[in-house]
Amino acid sequence: MAEPRPQQKEVLGYEGGTMGVAAVPGSGKTWTLTRLAARLVAEADLEARQEVLVVTLVNSSVDNFSSRIDQLVEQEGMLPDVGYRVCTLHTLAHEIVRARPDLAGLSEDFHVVDDRQSSDILRDVAESWYQSNQSKITGYLTGDISDYKRKEVLSEKLPRQVRRVAQNAIKHAKSSGLSPEALRGYLQDRGAEMPLAEMAQSIYQGYQQALNVQSAVDYDDLIRHALRVLQTDEELLSRLQHQWPYVLEDEAQDSSRIQQQILQRLAGSQANWVRVGDPNQAIYESFTTADPNLLREFVGKAGQSPELAQSGRSQPSIIKLANRTIWWSQEKHPNEEVRGALTGPLIRTTSEGDPQPNPPDRPGRIAFVSGEFTEEEETRKVAAALGPWLEANPEKTCAMLVPVRGMGVDAASRLEEQGIPYTDSLLKTTSQTREAAQRIERVVEYLAKPTSPARLARCYVQWRSSQVEANGVRDESFSEGGGKPEGESKPEGKGESEGKSKMEAAKAEIRETSRLVSQIGRPEDYIWPQGRSWLSEVEEDLTNEQLSRLEAFREKVRYWLELSGLPIGQLIMALGRDFFSDPDRLALVQKFSGLLRRASNYNPEWGLPRLSDELEVIAENERRFEGVGSGEADFDPEDHKGEVTISTMHGAKGLEWDRVHMMGVNDYHFPAAVAGDKFLPEKWFYRDGLNLQAETLAQIDALTGGEPYQEGEATTEARQEYARERIRLFYVCVTRAREELMITTNIGRFEDNRPALIFEEMRKIYDEHIAE
């Protein structure tokens, strides 16, 4: 085991109380936190059912933390997966609400809608509101729109904006603990004209009613309901505080106030609470209710506040550039309101003899490249530079980091044209989790009620589909949810028509046979016939192949029924081995097994019906917060040596490459909140350059006791915060590079942009203080 650095030893020496840790990029934060968790498991004298609770807001960290802690506790001669719990905050909130749904005003059978379902509900409600109330929002349109453009705005752009404004307002209200009824009460009490808040309240009311009809909640509901349960049920809170005597929080810079309140309650009066993060890497604030200042405040007040400031990730000149970015943002930014974007500690290189030394210092491996490039020309120049570099460095990693996904798609096309190997998996999503969970869930659902012919028929669909896939015929409709995973391409070329023919035949057979099974009067007459045999009665109407398959399926069902008495974790693993042989999906099955085993341990009264419901939640993609998703969660740049990784800048957080190309660093994607800047959230068709999302939140805050509302002030504040977030994004991207860093800019889609202020200022600093 590597020897900890002095600062890491200070963290690892933690015994109790509050500790806030500011950790710079590449400082070994995860390495340190996992060792602290393992040490507490081994030495903190935990009782039999007590655990160290590790909470992260990032899905990909769950597996990473668990596997590392397992290895460490096994080295101490202890059992893995015992004495600690790693989960996301949404998982934690879900379990708290499940324990007392009545206190949240929910039924026992409530379920969680995923982002897609939530978006669909909100779209319908917002469109309905817009059709009836269009005149209430058109007063915010600028007066100099042509008739042709006005029609386009009213029919397409404004309805989308209404939905987005409402979405942010609902998230804000829920994070503030505001119900739609409470917000309506504030509107009635104040009596002031607040058209944006009124719009938000009306859509919020309709959205929440639609959820209530379905006995559903969204992810934001989980958080606010969890806090309400903890505030109401002292007995449950006491039990959870005893169960988790230590709370360790990772990525704390991305936490919101209400999320912080949940963990603060769980930590209780003993306050054994460790928060680790880097406020300088808070780059999701524009998309969430996260507030990096909360971690800064916690670190300032905590009983212990060590820093993890040494980093061996990047070569010294890249570290100098990152530190100079911090200095410039604090001392030299022309807008004083933006100067709080980055704070210390500065990054320090590692000491001599460190097990992770910095790469050799090569100032010449940093470059700022500008010119009157269009987006296409910028992409072409970067691709032209990467081709020869990959040939010369086949064992190294590199990345193209783009500000928006569309630019990444265009970059992939350019690399494809030039024959340059690349991976764009970070731009895509996958339904592998949903498929795997659904396949097993259908069997568990049947085992919970083996007298149901409909459930037996659904089992047949999954069993037969897995056989067809094993024989090399693959189609998305074999999965009951349908829908091809985004990014998968249709087979082309020779043999395509033959493949389609086999696929269609297999689908038809599955539909027909499952229909027959669904019409069985008593499934036991098929599975365990006593005198009367359903299969004998229908045998003459079946083909030989159908009969053979139904006999084989019957044997499989009998086997499953014999397994039904196993503990849930073992049952899931056995079913997974029946359906899958590839390592990726078997790994997913293992995760499902662990989730349901924990649920069963915490709720020993749950039988198969309730556990089946839990697995159904995963199958419907509603438990992405469990860390069972694939995609970016499993991405490792080291698996893509000799290829170009294409990623959005936000998607690159937590990753690192030998060579990094930051693209599109212009004043549109990186505004500085100075005169002449344009801002992505501000639409050209609104009067006075208003940011309606910010103005809506300001009206809501004013209603609930905040500052009096003054139109335009929230837009100015939003510009400043957006500029601060862009500085942090620049810093994050710089610190992704180990050895080489290339930063380029373009003139934008409409050829009216210029290099970002931070691009120009950092280039000057590089030329004056870093370059050879």
**Angstrom distance (rounded) from CA 173 to CA 196:** 13
| Phi and psi, residue 498, nearest 5° | -65, -40
- Residue 25 annotated as binding site: yes
* CA distance readout (Å), 10 to 13, 21, 301, 456, 550: 5, 10, 18, 58, 64
Secondary structure string (H, E, C) spanning 236-288: HHHHHHHHCCEEEECCHHHCCHHHHHHHHHHHCCCCCEEEEECHHHCCCCCCC
* CA distance readout (Å), 701 to 110, 194, 326, 535, 594: 30, 11, 31, 67, 42
- In the 8-state DSSP scheme, what is residue 686? B
* CA distance readout (Å), 754 to 284, 374, 406, 743, 744: 25, 11, 20, 14, 11
- Residue 286 annotated as binding site: no
Tokens found for residue 310: 């040494």
Task: Identify the bridge partners of residue 52 per DSSP, sorted by sequence position.
Answer: 84, 246
SS3 for 348? strand
**Angstrom distance (rounded) from CA 213 to CA 508:** 35
**Angstrom distance (rounded) from CA 273 to CA 444:** 38
- Residue 23 annotated as binding site: yes
Closest CA to 21 of 38, 34, 33, 6: 33
- Residue 637 annotated as binding site: no
Tokens found for residue 399: 């990345």
Closest CA to 428 of 486, 493, 376: 486
Give 160-194 as a DSSP string.
HHHHHHHHHHHHHHHHTT--HHHHHHHHHHH----
SS3 for 532? strand
- Residue 314 annotated as binding site: no
Give 56-94 as a DSSP string.
ES-HHHHHHHHHHHHHHHHHTT--TTSSEEEEEHHHHHH
Closest CA to 443 of 530, 549, 534, 553: 553
- Residue 28 annotated as binding site: yes
- Residue 38 annotated as binding site: no
Task: Identify the bridge partners of residue 55 per DSSP, sorted by sequence position.
Answer: 87, 249
| Phi and psi, residue 737, nearest 5° | -90, 135
Binding site: which residues? 23-30
Binding-site annotation, residues for ATP: 23-30
